[in-house]
Structures are given as structure tokens and as C-alpha cells.
Amino acid sequence: METYGDLIAAEDVLLFVNAAITGTGQREFHGGAAEQRFSLDFLHEYMCVNYRSPYAAALALDINDHNAVLIVRRLLETAREATAEQRDTEGRLIARRLALLPPQRVYRLIGELRRAKVNNRRTRAILRDWLAARPDQSLDAVKYRPGLKRALRHAHLRPVETETGDFLFAPRRHPRYRAPLLDAWRRAHHEQGALYELPYTVAEGFAHRHGIPRDTFLTRIAPRLTALERLRLQESARGHGTAAATAVAVDLARMPLTRLASYVLALPPADRVARRAELTSALHGAARRAVRAAGAEEGSWGRVTAVLDDSHSAYGSGVKRRRPLAAALACHHLLAVLAGEYTALWTSGRADALLAHPSGPTPLGRRILDALDGGGDGGGGGGTGLAPERLLIISDGWDNAPPGLAAEVLRVWRTRLDPERRTSIVHLNPVYDAEGFDVRRLAPTVPTAGLRDAEDLPALVEFARFAEGRTDLAELTAHLAARTERFLATAGPVREDRG
């Protein structure tokens, strides 16, 4: 028999997973960065002390990089509190997750461990294996020089190549280097042409030192840019002439869905209209790739309606501009691929998803009424007149026009109009609520899950069933164990260097 304590434990685990998916320690529309960092620190401490095994298992879930680093650090700092079995599982989880993290985050983590004087044998072994798996240590020596030096000293290791060691710790020992990248760094101090052989983030400093015009630099460094660097430099390049903008153009066909949605929303409306066919095709293609990667089938979800929040709060904040709206736009295109019949209802009532922008209040209750009525007059998808088989609500949960209507509509629908649950309803929330230590929920009768990237939507809809108020701890534990096993069995490539 499941006890009350089991139910509390399951709720605590679900609450933490939602926080670890959405919380980044940055400012949100309704909350500041300091409050969010304090809230997340409390949750990490609480989980590590009370539920260490599920806490470590969260590394196998679709949590964001910020919280993955916090988990790794706390597990390494508290290694003495773990059993031998826990240490073995944690070590494998940490090693696998580090391989998926951007290298700059790992080097920053190593610096934090060094300052905290965390240098036990397991930590050194994990760092040794991670460094050994890096595909090009000369690239790391140039691009992350201070981080690599700290890592080698902290783990008491020698570089793979003696020449790399000399470059890091005795750079004047060699008049030139055999490794092309190391020698390019040496030559870039006095030779302008050499800096274009270096990674962008390193070359940028040399370009400033040599006084090279920005448009010239961007045009010539373009072949060295990573996909994320191209995305970040779009606005800068556009302001420095056609040649620079063309050189750093983003390859839309290769961009992940949510990142592509962010790119589209950053474009002026006139540009979106002018490039409608190109952008719509790219979004649809990215959605199809995401569906295939998730192991789902196109058109397999039947009749689907989505209520999508494009209210003023969907802007996010200055450090997370339009992030909630980007999640909604990406989910819109993903659901259009997953559904057999699809209806989209934006809270603003607009019908053109490509021109979505944050504005107005959040009439979630009215849009949910439209959705359950078969499409109503909410715009965006041409309703079917039938209640959907699936209703997905993508919103930060701040229902305010009028306040509380969404909760009442969902309560009446679930308890009186559809107690047999013919319509599956899931609320996906892309925003962490620091004050509530969770994502904001719409109603107790509807499961809510945190959402970071739209690509994770199929897995999150499955995971949301644990949050319906009838959580079975044994089933949740089995789910975490299965995800951990799959995560550890997947021998994926080392994460691309994101600059």
C-alpha cells in the first residue's frame, strides 16, 4: 500500500523536475534573477539531502544545462553522504551528462569545484575521463586556455601532448608549434592573416588589437563560425553591410526547432512576411525532424487543439527575450505534425502564427472554452466543432482576463462534463515561478509539466501523467530507472562546441 509519505515524495520529485527543466537563475517577466537563484538553490539542497537517488536520476531527464551543472556539483561536493551503489550510478550519470554539456560550462564547473576545494578521487577520475574524451585538446588550449589549465592542475594531470602542455604553461619555450592551431595563435599576435585560422571567440580579440574593421572581420571569419555563433551575429552582421550579413547567414535547414522559432521571432515583421515561404518551410522541416527524433509518428495524435499564450508576459525578460513565445511557436509547429487534425488558438485571437508577438492580457479561460467547444472563434486553425482528443495549453499560467476563469472551466469540464477523461488535457509551462518553487499551475485537475524546448514535448506529455494528483511513487521510480538506463546506454557523440 502506498503511504502518505510516498505521495509527498512523488510530489517533491515532480516539483523539482519541473524546476530543473524551466529554471535558469535568470530574470523572468514576473520575477527577478536573485529570487530565482535562491529558490533553485533551496530545491537542490532539499532534494540532495532527502531524495538523493531521484536527484541524481534527474540528470537523465530533459533538464536544462544550468541545473545539470548544479546537480553535478552538489553530488561531487557531498560524495561522502552517498552509498557505494549510489556513487557508482552517480559517477556514470555525471560522466554521461558532462559529455553532453557545452565545454565552457564544464570548465566553469571545474573552476567552481576548485574554489570549493572539491578534489576527491572520484572527482579527479571523472575530470580525467572527460578531458581524455575531448576531440581536440589543442582547440581547447586555444579557446578555453584558463579553464583547461585549471582543470589539469585540479585533477593533477598532464596534457595529452607535450607541446600542448608547453603552450599552456611555458608558451615561450617554442619559437613555433607543430600543431596548426597553436601556431596560428602564436602568429596572430603579429600577423593579421593568422587570426582567421582561429576560432571566432579567440580571433575577435586579435581583430580588435589589430584594428580590423568589423565588416571585414565578420566576412573573413565566417567559415570558422559555429551554428550558434552565426545565430548570435545575425543582427551585428546586418548592421555592417550586405557582404557581412551574407557571409554569416544562418543555415535554417539545420537549426533545432525551438532555436529556429527564437530566430524567426527576432526578425522584424516585414522580414517575416517577405520570407514567409522560407521560414514556414524551415519551421515545418525542423518540426518533422524533432518528431522523428522523439520516436513519434506524424499524424498519430488524432484530433489536437492547442491554446497558445502570446500575451504580453510571453516576452519573457531582457535576458530571455521572447523565450516563452518561442516555445509556444515551436510547439505550434510540432503539434501540427503530430496531429491528425490540428487547431491552434492563440490567446490574442490572431490567426497568423508567423507574425506572433507578445501583446495584451491572458484570456486563457476563454480560449480553453473555445478549444473544448471544438475551436470556437479563437482563430488560428478553423475549429472542427468537436471536442479535441488532446488539449495542450502552452502558457506561463498567469490567467488574468478574467483571473481564475481557466481554473474554473477546467474544474467543471473534468469533474462534471468529462469525468471519463475522453479529452486528455496537459498544461506545459515554459516559465519557472520562483515564489512557488515550481511552474505555475492552472488547476489541480489538470497535470502541469515544465517545458524548456518544444522538442521535448512528446516525452513531457508522457511524464505529465505523473502529475495528475494520483501519483504512484513506485511507478514514478520505475520510470526514472528506465530513463536512467536508456540515458546511460546511449553512446552519443560529444556535444558540439557552441562557442
- Could you tell me the sign of the dihedral formed by the alpha carbons of 312, 313, 315, 317, in that order? positive
Per the domain annotation, does 447 fall within a domain? yes
For 323-365, write each residue's pLDDT tens digit. 999 999 999 999 999 999 999 999 999 999 999 999 999 999 9
Indicate whether 243 and 334 sit together in one domain. no
Indicate whether 305 and 241 sit together in one domain. no
Per the domain annotation, does 474 fall within a domain? no
Q: Which amino acid is at 407?
A: A
pLDDT of 383 above 90: no
Distance CA 154, CA 250 (A): 38
Determine the pLDDT at residue 380. Answer: 47
Distance CA 99, CA 494 (A): 5
Q: Centre a 10 Å sphere on the Cβ of residue 372 and count the other Cβ atoms it contains.
A: 22
Residue 321, strand partner residues: 316
Region 457-465 average pLDDT: 87
Indicate whether 425 and 386 sit together in one domain. yes
Indicate whether 350 and 443 sit together in one domain. yes
Residue written as cell 619559437? 175
Distance CA 285, CA 313 (A): 28
Domain span at residue 220 reads: 189-250
- pTM, entire model: 0.90
Per the domain annotation, does 374 fall within a domain? yes
Region 253-273 average pLDDT: 93
C-alpha cell read off for 230: 552565426
pLDDT of 178 above 60: yes
Indicate whether 147 and 222 sit together in one domain. no
Per the domain annotation, does 264 fall within a domain? no
pLDDT of 157 above 80: yes
For 194-236, write each residue's pLDDT tens digit. 999 999 999 999 999 999 998 899 999 988 988 888 888 876 6
What is the helix (H) or strand (E) element at residue 345, kind and residue range? strand 341-346
Determine the pLDDT at residue 2. Answer: 57
Per the domain annotation, does 42 fall within a domain? yes
* Exposure letters 266-278 (e unless 16+ CB within 10 A, then b): ebeeeebeebeee
Give the pLDDT band (50/70/90) at residue 130: very high
Cα-to-chain-centroid distance, residue 484? 19
- 7 contact partners, CB below 8 Å, separation of at least 6: 471, 473
Determine the pLDDT at residue 466. Answer: 77
Indicate whether 330 and 395 sit together in one domain. yes
Indicate whether 242 and 166 sit together in one domain. no
Per the domain annotation, does 484 fall within a domain? no
Cα-to-chain-centroid distance, residue 491? 20
- Among 141, 173, 205, the domain boundary falls at 173
Residue 421, strand partner residues: none
What is the helix (H) or strand (E) element at residue 439, kind and residue range? strand 438-439
Least confident of 38-47, 165-174, 196-205, 260-269: 165-174
Closest CA to 127 of 101, 157, 102, 149: 157
- Average pLDDT of the chain to the nearest whole number: 90
Distance CA 190, CA 349 (A): 59
Per the domain annotation, does 181 fall within a domain? no
Contact 296, 290 (CB under 8 A): no
- Among 113, 147, 173, the domain boundary falls at 173
Indicate whether 321 and 356 sit together in one domain. yes
Distance CA 444, CA 53 (A): 27
pLDDT of 493 above 80: no
Determine the pLDDT at residue 472. Answer: 67
Max avg pLDDT among 64-68, 240-244, 445-449: 64-68
Indicate whether 243 and 209 sit together in one domain. yes
Region 387-415 average pLDDT: 94
DSSP secondary structure, 437-451, as one string = TEEPPS-TTS-EEE-
Determine the pLDDT at residue 54. Answer: 95
Residue 423 half-sphere exposure toward CB, CA atoms < 13 A: 26
Distances (CA, A) of 199 to 160, 217, 240: 21, 12, 20
For 30-86, write each residue's pLDDT tens digit. 889 999 999 999 999 999 999 999 999 999 999 999 999 999 999 999 999 999 999
pLDDT of 89 above 80: yes
pLDDT of 313 above 90: yes
Contact 395, 365 (CB under 8 A): no
Give the pLDDT band (50/70/90) at residue 127: very high
Determine the pLDDT at residue 250. Answer: 81
Determine the pLDDT at residue 310. Answer: 97
Distances (CA, A) of 315 to 157, 197, 320, 321, 369: 46, 38, 8, 6, 24
* Exposure letters 210-239 (e unless 16+ CB within 10 A, then b): eebebbebbbbbbebbebbbbbbbbeebee
Indicate whether 359 and 282 sit together in one domain. yes
Per the domain annotation, does 348 fall within a domain? yes
Q: How far apart are the first and last CA of the chain?
A: 51
Determine the pLDDT at residue 251. Answer: 83
Longest dimension (CA), the chain: 81
Q: Which amino acid is at 435?
A: E
Count of domains forming the chain: 3
Percent of the chain exceeding pLDDT 70 equals 92
For 425-440, write each residue's pLDDT tens digit. 999 999 999 999 999 9
Indicate whether 141 and 85 sit together in one domain. yes
Q: What is the CATH number of the domain that holds 369?
A: 3.40.50
| φ, ψ for residue 56, nearest 5 deg | -65, -35
Distance CA 93, CA 112 (A): 19
Give the pLDDT band (50/70/90) at residue 379: very low
Least confident of 13-17, 170-174, 202-206, 413-417: 170-174
Q: Which amino acid is at 264?
A: V
Region 225-250 average pLDDT: 75
Contact 353, 312 (CB under 8 A): no
Contact 347, 372 (CB under 8 A): no
C-alpha cell read off for 193: 592573416
Residue 438, strand partner residues: 433
Q: Whats the size of the chain, residue-wise? A: 499
Indicate whether 65 and 97 sit together in one domain. yes
Give the pLDDT band (50/70/90) at residue 463: confident
Q: What is the DSSP letter of 157?
A: -
